[in-house]
Chains A and B, each alone.
Chain A
Amino acid sequence: MIDTGQNWRGRAVLLLLLAPAVLWLLLTIILPHADLAMVSIRERVAPREYVNSLAQYRTFFTEPLYWHVFVRTALVSAVSTLITLLIAFPVAWTIAKIAQGRKATLLFLVCLIPFWVSETVRTLGWMILLRESGVLPALLVKLGIAAAPPELLYHDATILVGLVYTSLLFMVVPLVNSLETLDNSLIEAAYDLGAGAFSVLRDIVIPHAAPGITAGCIVVFMLTLGNYLTPNLLGGTSSQWFTEQIYNQFITRFNWEQGAAFGFLLLGLSTTIVWLGLKASGQRFADVMRRA
């Protein structure tokens, strides 16, 4: 009897502690999404007259443009995630294993400092560097590499540079966390047993860091897929990013129904891609989230 009483009290305290998080989820995520879901499954047949229908979703699959933009967004995001991983891994390795004490903290700070500036300002900074009358094209002309200042903005590569730059920290943090827990004596033991650098990386380091790698990749992929500012500013009108389509539907065309459906399609498709990625790499979601 006493136990049950304490149990109830414990549960009440737990509920109170969870209340802010639950309210946050409910008010800012679940409610708006529920409303958007309602919006996405209706169709306007006449002014102020709506019927329930899946027409908005059908449009996505029947209209090749939307499909095309989505696949392109997903592919560029995947490539960007991969490049981010390749750049972040040596950085994380240096911070976690090579730099000692204060040096490691300092290196981490160097990765962090760009994020004290707002994303808009940072992206505009890239534009100042890369635009036709900008710093880098002028430098290329001065060095005699280019005859006339080239336009470095509005290429896919420019979008990639911006996306990788924005995502780097979100890859470095989980990588550092997972590499720090790797016991150095495991590396030495492998080396002692005859392994070379490649075998140590493949057989010891990557299996150990796999949850961290996966966590970083998921976070970066999702952030990149849902990024609006960077592709739009650096890619201009040719960027063809899926978030732009959503923006256009809501703001330009005032077609909320279509925009809401696109939003859900983005959510569903990106979740599917992440799920496939987890399956392919043999990772469990719970392990991965603990590292993130």
Chain B
Amino acid sequence: MNSSKSGAADLEVNAVKKTFGSHAAVDELSFSVPHGSFFSILGPSGCGKTTLLRMIAGFIQPDSGDIRIGGRSMAGVAPNQRPVNMVFQQLALFPMMNVAENVAFGLARRGVGRLERLRKAEAMLERVGLGGAQGKRVDELSGGQRQRVAIARSLVLEPTLLLLDEPLGALDLKLREHMKIELKQLQAAFGTTFVYITHDQSEALVLSDHVGVMNAGRFEQLGSPQSLYYEPTTPFVAGFVGSSNRVTGRVAALSHGIATIATDDGWLLEARVRDSLVVGHSAIAFVRPEAATLARAAADLPSTQRSHVGRVDSLLFDGANSAVLIRESKSNLEFRVALPQTGQFSDLIPGELIHFAFDPERAVCFIAGASR
């Protein structure tokens, strides 16, 4: 990451490797996280992100490489000695203690006096919006409140780094959306560096300053949410971040960085080349549903773009995320196009003929099968 040059990196991971048997869970990974930023590691389950997080926390020792936190190497430093705290996936609040005792637990371990630590715990609970909940039992709290206690319990220790292991995973959808915003606000208010792991791309995009997309023990791409979304550098990232239509075919023509791809059935479409594709290569193209525009007549589409035609397969109503599934006429492939927010085309009927087009600059293509 280029911002690591600024000097104030709270976390530096250098060529860290961890293998289980013959399987490299984390493979020669290097990155750094600048002070005060929100960094997410996004990847499917089994990609090694949990192993990476547990190595940063100190629960697992890397086979090779170095982890530096706040400029200090963590080799041989036990988890209870690291300036790092973790919010666990199931939160792991202590059921044998009340809320205030949970928050004060870490302070007590540091030898802070009883009155002082209860005062600090109270102030921290106040800051996360749980004033007055000190005496409650953990199981009396709602999901969102427990979440806040878990974060308060860590932040009260003023760690250099707060690690979060998919803490929103156990919440229902509505609360998850709410807690996403709350997490972002908390991070901004405290200014603590957050390292967050998730398999939910929406969480990563909404929350983070920087995201590392992880696959098979490596980072496929590291960058801002915008760059991952608009400028994916690998087919994996293009497919994993956001939703995309995926079309495979052969490169029929190439000009000014735009490839014309022909499917086996002769459907031609254009996309921006993101790697060293040449004519004749088999290629995979990714087109975002919101990149395409719809029209009932081909003449209504932008004249500079190649127009496509298909029949409406089904209408997927989901409020602002509504889309239409189209069967492209030549290839019979399914193609998803987002419906405009204006409510236009919400009257489409299955079976109806529909034209669509997209700007090739907003579609990307890669060598097929190049994904690691």
Q: Is B109 within 8 A of A192, CB to CB?
A: no
B-contacting residues, A189-229, CB 8 Å: 189-196, 199, 203-204, 207-208
B97 contacts across to A, CB distance below 8 A: 203
Tell yes or no: B340 within 8 A of A by CB.
no
Known contacts A194-B109, A195-B80, A196-B80; is A189 also within 8 Å of B157 by CB? no
Known contacts A194-B109, A195-B80; is A185 also within 8 Å of B157 by CB? no
Q: How many A-B contacts if CB must be within 8 Å? A: 58
Q: Name which residue of chain A comes closest to B78, CB basis.
A: A191
Known contacts A193-B153, A194-B80, A208-B96; is A199 also within 8 Å of B90 by CB? no
Distance to closest chain A CB from B92 (angstroms): 4
Which of B85, B92, B106 makes the CB contact (< 8 A) with A185? B92
Distance to closest chain A CB from B51 (angstroms): 14
**A positions within 8 Å CB-CB of B:** 183, 185-186, 188-196, 199, 203-204, 207-208
CA distance A62 to B92 in the complex (A): 57
Q: Is B88 within 8 A of A185, CB to CB?
A: yes
CA distance A250 to B234 in the complex (A): 89
Distance to closest chain B CB from A118 (angstroms): 41
CA distance A191 to B77 in the complex (A): 13
Distance to closest chain A CB from B124 (angstroms): 13
Distance to closest chain B CB from A164 (angstroms): 29
Tell yes or no: B324 within 8 A of A by CB.
no
Q: Name which residue of chain B comes closest to A208, CB basis.
A: B96
Known contacts A185-B92, A195-B80, A204-B96; is A190 also within 8 Å of B105 by CB? yes
B92 contacts across to A, CB distance below 8 A: 183, 185-186, 188-189
Distance to closest chain B CB from A184 (angstroms): 9
How many residues does chain B have at the interface if contact means C-beta atoms less than 8 Å apart?
A: 25
Which of B84, B88, B96 makes the CB contact (< 8 A) with A189? B88
CA distance A207 to B138 in the complex (A): 15
A192 contacts across to B, CB distance below 8 A: 57, 79-80, 84-86
Nearest 8 CB-CB pairings of A with B: A193-B106, A194-B109, A189-B92, A207-B96, A185-B92, A185-B88, A194-B80, A192-B86
Q: Is A194 within 8 A of B96, CB to CB?
A: no
Which of B79, B80, B94, B154 makes the CB contact (< 8 A) with A186? B94
B23 contacts across to A, CB distance below 8 A: none
Interface flags for B97-112 (1: CB within 8 Å of A; 0: not) read 1000000011001100
CA distance A183 to B88 in the complex (A): 12
A196 contacts across to B, CB distance below 8 A: 80, 109
Q: Name which residue of chain B comes closest to A195, CB basis.
A: B109
Q: Name which residue of chain B comes closest to A193, CB basis.
A: B106
Knowing that A192-B84, A208-B96 are A-B contacts, what are 16 other residue pairs whose CB atoms are under 8 Å apart, sorted by A's residue number?
Answer: A183-B92, A185-B90, A188-B88, A188-B92, A189-B86, A189-B88, A190-B94, A192-B57, A193-B109, A194-B81, A194-B157, A195-B80, A196-B109, A199-B109, A203-B94, A204-B94
CA distance A204 to B57 in the complex (A): 20
Which of B57, B89, B90, B106 makes the CB contact (< 8 A) with A194? B106
B93 contacts across to A, CB distance below 8 A: 189
Q: Name which residue of chain A comes closest to B87, CB basis.
A: A189
Q: Is A189 within 8 A of B79, CB to CB?
A: no
Q: Is B94 within 8 A of A189, CB to CB?
A: yes
Q: List 28 interface pairs A-B (beta carbons < 8 Å), by A numbering.
A: A185-B92, A188-B59, A189-B88, A189-B93, A189-B94, A190-B105, A192-B57, A192-B80, A192-B84, A192-B85, A193-B80, A193-B105, A193-B109, A193-B154, A194-B81, A194-B157, A195-B80, A195-B105, A195-B109, A196-B80, A196-B109, A199-B109, A203-B94, A203-B97, A203-B105, A204-B96, A207-B96, A208-B95
